[in-house]
Structure 1
């Protein structure tokens, strides 16, 4: 990092490939005063002298806003200059923006897409945009990473979806041109990414459990069995690491600046092996009788009574809940050893459990309730390649013919 840069708050991070990313970070004093923006990605290169002034200007602007906030002028709406970049900044920082209401990990995902939009199209004036621009951006974003590769429809559709969110916010904030652009995108249709068709089936789970135990990974075996048998989401089983709020006491299980939350603990399992949980995504209450899940019961029996305290799923190598991404990474190592195709993911355990229930003829509303879905239409999306209902329909039709 050049030492002659006058850029307060400038930080750098390196990717795994060694490339450098630049960020502006708010000071502890500004965050303690409640400044709503902790970090901003800078799409510049410190290795290019022609971009040094841009880096300095951006850092000074963000620093001035943070200092103004800390001094008592808590205006969150930054000036709107009619460009897409200024709309991005308002969407991220305005306290009236719906961006402020989504979870921290959703904000992180949004920030990645917003960074792409700001870097690629930020200088464009909203007044000059139209359907031709959106179609061109979508087509460019969906191009394969390399010639002959798979089209990146999910990335392209994600950009369009984010534009819709921003323009919808702009309408509520009474920003010019947003109403017109939102109407265009609401009427336009863009190809969506195909739904996943893969599912983790019972034979996959059985093979995984055997191999995980052979490799000394009881935690992975138990977590997978729970996901499949109860149809709970991964994060509801293993928990997640969320940032410790500014000024909050860092109690509980803390790793760096993050605190483990919302995973299953031994206290969640009753003496009769009923587990009750408030789901992280919808806030629904779900309950499961683990005594009816032999895969799970056999694995629970392997845990000594003296160790049945705290988080249920603990990384054997670290002695604490799995760090972010570590569960999926270690799970894949065991899955490959067990012969499970790379196209089948850990997250497909939920679809596998729901599909098995549908195949067994379970009532759709009962499956919906067990999975913690608020709508049956959501449950239907998890049903993949089942034939149980089709067989039942065929049998009823045959019975009807025989009666006739």
Structure 2
């Protein structure tokens, strides 16, 4: 039998409505000096004194080591999910360090949801039942009668997989067990997007944009549809300026505009070459075969053909983050484009049109800058180009057999 002396820092909080809760609590004098975590809930059976003692001794040793001088702003792993999240974001050996800034921002949003909801849970007490419950809670509709939020729920599970994979490489306890559980578990994934921006949409949008004084939106939409370039490869993006680096170039709110199309990217013979942001692949397009684009470029006076191709007419600079999509929606509604169809669906629309025309999938892949044909195939939405070709070949085969 283990004595309470072997469980330093252990506290029990009585619960009238369920089992008592067991905590490890840091010394008040060290908490006053800045030590964290202040408390750690121990999700163990109250009768499992061996596990409780081991956890208390480990947490107590970490606290005393901090008090003895090994103080650091990077708090030690305390066995909780919140602690693992913190290390994933700050460990120099974490794959998080290699992520692009906007991917980090997206990850941080999901990690914040996880930490707020489950951060105090001890990894030792987490299992498949918890994952199922967390997934089911996350996918519940925001309001009664609304669709289930499967994409949000699946994103949380995907992030947990990343966390535990990191934990395995960092040799943190229980991460290998939890990673193995999630490797075998299956959760419903969100359905693939099926909508696309089609040629009639683009043809309806362009005159409405020009009428509203938004030639920039007309050019951007036509360029996205005709060349199948991603939105950010056309309009660019605002990247944080690294600390200590001079704010040169086009700067807005501490961010620098980068990677969008410029007039310098368009050659004298009306071709455009671009290194894509996502894969780094270099794609080229002959704009002489993109009449929607050429007609719009001709409307830009020669003296304005310098710098970024897409300029917010009201601000005189590239569109601020989210402003392009917001202003695009205003014009789209006047053009009768359903709200369910997004500006970014122009890429799938162009790829789908190419497939419907019978273009070889590998040629489409190269034009779109994809590294794998399977990725290109996911952008093909509701077309019959390939099935028509198959049917034509089958009919020709029958005719040949009957003739012989």
**TM-score per shorter chain, which class?**
0.7 to 0.9
The CA distance in 2 between the partners of 1:93 and 1:58, in whole Å, is 24
The CA distance in 2 between the partners of 1:58 and 1:248, in whole Å, is 37
The CA distance in 2 between the partners of 1:265 and 1:76, in whole Å, is 44
Structure 1 match to 2:353: 356
Q: Where do 1:2-401 residues align within 5 Å?
A: 78-401=75-398
CA pair 61-365 structure 1, distance change in 2 beyond 3 A:
farther
The CA distance in 1 between the partners of 2:99 and 2:276, in whole Å, is 16
Task: After the TM superposition, list the runs of 4 or more consecutive aligned residues in structure 1 that deviate by more than 2 angstroms.
Answer: 57-62, 73-78
* CA deviation vs aligned residue, 1:146-169 (integer Å, no higher than 9, x gap): 111100000000000000000000
CA pair 380-293 structure 1, distance change in 2 beyond 3 A:
same
Report SS of the residue matched to 2:239: strand
- Structure 1 portions without partners, runs of 5+: 1-56, 63-72
The CA distance in 1 between the partners of 2:212 and 2:293, in whole Å, is 18
- Structure 2 portions without partners, runs of 5+: 1-30, 37-69
What's the CA shift for 1:273?
1.0
Contact 1:236 1:279 in 2 (8 A): yes
Contact 1:76 1:94 in 2 (8 A): no
What's the CA shift for 1:59?
12
Structure 2 match to 1:24: none
CA pair 399-110 structure 1, distance change in 2 beyond 3 A:
same
What's the CA shift for 1:58?
12
Q: What's the RMSD between the two structures over aligned residues? A: 1.7
Report SS of the residue matched to 1:356: helix
The CA distance in 1 between the partners of 2:308 and 2:75, in whole Å, is 43
Structure 1 match to 2:56: none
Report SS of the residue matched to 1:148: coil
Q: TM-score, normalised by structure 2?
A: 0.82
Contact 1:141 1:156 in 2 (8 A): yes
CA pair 124-375 structure 1, distance change in 2 beyond 3 A:
same
What's the CA shift for 1:95?
1.1
Contact 1:205 1:225 in 2 (8 A): yes
Please, which moves more after superposition, 73-82 or 237-246? 73-82
Report SS of the residue matched to 2:257: strand
Q: TM-score, normalised by structure 1?
A: 0.82
Contact 1:208 1:334 in 2 (8 A): yes
The CA distance in 2 between the partners of 1:306 and 1:334, in whole Å, is 27
Structure 1 match to 2:399: 402
* CA deviation vs aligned residue, 1:228-256 (integer Å, no higher than 9, x gap): 00000000000000111000011000001
Report SS of the residue matched to 1:276: strand
Report SS of the residue matched to 1:91: helix
* CA deviation vs aligned residue, 1:31-57 (integer Å, no higher than 9, x gap): xxxxxxxxxxxxxxxxxxxxxxxxxx8
Report SS of the residue matched to 1:275: strand
Q: State the structure with more CA Rg.
A: 2
Q: How many residues align?
A: 338
Structure 2 match to 1:27: none
